[in-house]
Amino acid sequence: MENIVEIKNLTIEFNSRSAKSHRALDGLDLALERGGTLSIVGESGSGKSTLLRAVMALIPPTAGSVALFGKDTAKITTAELNSLRRRCGYVPQDPYGAIPPGLSVIDAVMEPEIIAGVKRTKEERLERAKKLLAEVGLTGERILASRAVGLSGGQRQRVELARALMLDPELLLCDEPTSMQDASTRGEIIEVLRRRTGGGMSMLFVTHDLLLAAHAAQKIVVLKEGRLCESGDSKEVLAAPRHPYTKALLDALPRIT
């Protein structure tokens, strides 16, 4: 089976004039097969978001390599890299700065297709965007015509997901995509993702919630201070965690008594 993402001995350091360098990822090895789904779990500062940005070649490796669709992202041209990125969808952690403020919701969702030069009539593009917004639970002319400034954080996250799905990505990268959702809409978003991955889309899903991670993806990797401390089938990791840190994450989950 082809690896859609392959990371070898990846180290990423951030330098600061006022302090010593910070190692966000430390010798990480990771692979995602085509059609596979993987949740990346860890507390704040564990390197989860850095990992996603490295996969998209938004951060250069200090050491090691990242291959996307079989291509080493550090050894290809900008044009080749942009071509690979168009095969991906990316849902950023902070939706407040991600949606262009001057665009309406419907225009923001259509924008990726326009930028990519997809051949589609305006009517077809509008209908597709409306269907995607309905899929993530956003309907009604008032919402579709709204600007980002008038949306809640949870609504912005759903707009970002619809934008990411507009190009039918082969790989979806989600950075805490449900962090601003309530319990009911969180479940709805996970169902949207599961339908998509059930259709063959690959996914990297970042979260600090071990239970949510298990619901979202087939496999889990647990990061602590930039290092992989546990990996495996989601059900197995949840049922019998091996590493003390994974056990601590599981123990921290709220329990119904």
Per residue in 47-89, pLDDT tens?
Answer: 999 999 999 999 999 999 999 999 999 999 999 999 999 999 9
Question: Which of 168, 192, 224 is a domain's end point?
Answer: 168
On whether both 73 and 200 belong to a single domain, the answer is yes
Q: pLDDT tens for residues 221-231?
A: 999 999 999 99
What pTM was computed for the model? 0.92
On whether both 206 and 152 belong to a single domain, the answer is no
pLDDT at 96: 81
Which residues constitute the domain of residue 142? 101-168
Give the CATH number, domain containing residue 8: 3.40.50.300
On whether both 7 and 83 belong to a single domain, the answer is yes
On whether both 45 and 62 belong to a single domain, the answer is yes
Say if 93 falls within a structural domain. no
DSSP, residue by residue, 182-195: -HHHHHHHHHHHHH
Say if 158 falls within a structural domain. yes
- The label of the residue with tokens 């709220």 reads 254
Say if 94 falls within a structural domain. no
Question: Which of 168, 183, 217 is a domain's end point?
Answer: 168
Say if 129 falls within a structural domain. yes
- The label of the residue with tokens 């495996």 reads 232
Say if 218 falls within a structural domain. yes
Backbone φ and ψ for 229, nearest 5 degrees, come out as -110, -15
Helices (H) and strands (E) in the chain, counts: 10, 10
Question: Which of 168, 195, 211 is a domain's end point?
Answer: 168
On whether both 215 and 163 belong to a single domain, the answer is no
On whether both 77 and 202 belong to a single domain, the answer is yes
Say if 95 falls within a structural domain. no
Say if 92 falls within a structural domain. no
Structural domain total, the chain: 2
Q: Which two tokens stand for residue 56?
A: 């998209």
- The label of the residue with tokens 């639970």 reads 137
pLDDT at 255: 63
CB contact at 8 A, 82 and 57: no
Task: Indicate left, alpha or beta for 82 from its phi (over 0: left) and psi (-120 to 50: alpha).
Answer: alpha
- Using CA atoms, how far apart are residues 177 and 203, in angstroms rounded to an integer? 12
pLDDT < 70 positions in the chain: 17-19, 255-257
- Write b or e for each residue in 37-63: b if 16 or more Cβ atoms lie within 10 A of its Cβ, otherwise e: bbbbbbeeebbbbbbbbbbbbebebbe
- Alpha helix (H) residue ranges in the chain: 48-55, 78-85, 105-116, 122-135, 141-145, 153-165, 183-198, 210-216, 234-239, 244-251
Say if 224 falls within a structural domain. yes
pLDDT at 110: 95
CB contact at 8 A, 84 and 60: no
